[in-house]
Amino acid sequence: MTINILFAGHVSRWPDYREPLETALRAAGLEFDLRPEFADPAQVDYIIVAPNGPISDFSPYRRARAVLSLWAGVEGLIDNPTLNQPLTRMVDAGLTEGMVEWVTGHVLRHHLGMDAQICATEPRWHPVAPPLARDRPIGVLGLGALGCAVAQSLSRLNFPVNGWSRRDKSIAGIATRHGDTGLRETLAQSQILVLLLPLTPQTENLMNAERLSLLPRGAILVNPARGQIIDDEALLAALDRGDLAHATLDVFRQEPLPPSHPFWSHPQVTVTPHIASETRPRSASEAIAENIRRCEDGKPLLHLADPNAGY
């Protein structure tokens, strides 16, 4: 029997996703009708969605067996009062690999002091060797699929990695902590801090003035998670005082980041345009097709979002 699949990501992404989705769905052995619009919402079996997509009311999609997000973060979806269908998060190899590569690149950039070592623009010879990785403790806040992969990658480079999560977790080679005391201990040891937390009511403004002050003086903050996790004014104040040496930010409270925002002009801030881990159509389509196939086979969906946890 043909299953009806609605693509409800942002309209601009339909040309990018159509062919990879069709290829992945066929490879999964599914008979399907994939479209960006159905005249009758009650005929839709699955909804592929993004928080910036066109659907705000899920109640007409009474037959839909699952809503499958193209994004790892599900804020803007999980608290939608009309969403009565199971919601899955995007967890796929391409997204994880992209995040590991972006974070590792920027951690190494700061660890090695690459910005200060570049001499191409002026005749300057000031050789300063960085410490070895084993002498540079890294903190990773958030130990989900992305945080765990990043922490393990950095550990393999010989960085001592301290990981923190809301719940107690055990990861080989990583010193893991949880709870408020664990957070304070992790921050106090993090010369470079990487944020990989989901955005929930509990994590919004988590990195406020008090918690930023717990970082070692001269620490570096790297945020590819969500902009709302950081108090912008507190971060700017910590940078201006010299408490923090630098912040590399890929996500912001408002995107695109407004031209007038002080992050653009601050000498200790690096801005990247939300590219740390863009969802890749091919690998994301394979993850979507696998979940639909599982549901059609009567198996549990992978990566179900938990409304109680907020992600």
Catalytic: 134?
no
Options 13, 63, 266, 274, the catalytic residue: 274
Q: Which residues of the chain have pLDDT under 50?
A: none
Q: 150 near 170, Cβ under 8 Å?
A: no
Q: Indicate the helix (H) or strand (E) that contains 149.
A: helix 145-156
CATH architecture of 93-271: 3-Layer(aba) Sandwich (3.40)
Q: Is 274 a catalytic residue?
A: yes
Q: What pLDDT is recorded for position 121? A: 67
47 to each of 72, 271, 287, 300, 307, how far by Cα in Å? 16, 33, 14, 17, 18
Delimiting residues of CATH 3.40.50.720 domain(s) in the chain: 3-92+279-296, 93-271
Whole-angstrom distance, CA of residue 36 vs CA of residue 174: 43
Residues 61 and 78: their CA atoms lie apart, in Å, by: 16
Closest among 161, 160, 164, 203 to 181, alpha carbons compared? 164
pLDDT computed for residue 120 by the predictor:
60
Phi then psi for residue 161, to 5 deg, are -115, 125
Amino acid in the structure at residue 90: M
How much is the pLDDT for 81?
Answer: 96
Query: What tokens does 248 get?
Result: 């590399």
Strands (E), the chain: 3-8, 32-35, 46-49, 66-69, 87-88, 138-141, 161-165, 175-178, 192-195, 219-223, 244-249, 269-271
Residues near 208 by beta carbon (within 8 Å), at least 6 away in sequence: 231, 234
The label of the residue with tokens 């993850």 reads 287
**How high is the pLDDT of residue 123?**
76
Residue 287: both structure tokens together: 């993850």
User: In the prediction, which pLDDT does 51 show?
Assistant: 83
Closest CA to 111 of 176, 174, 161, 152: 161
Task: Quote the CA–CA distance of 293 and 273 in Å, as a whole number.
Answer: 34
Q: Which of 110, 136, 166, 226 is catalytic?
A: 226
> What's the CATH architecture for 3-92+279-296?
3-Layer(aba) Sandwich (3.40)
Give the residue from 76, 107, 91 showing the smallest Cα distance to 279: 91
| Long-range contact pairs involving 27-30 (C-beta distance under 8 Å, separation at least 24) | 27/286, 27/289, 28/289, 28/290, 28/292, 28/293, 29/293, 30/3, 30/289, 30/292, 30/293, 30/296
pLDDT tens per residue across span 110-152: 999 998 877 666 777 878 889 999 999 999 999 999 999 999 9
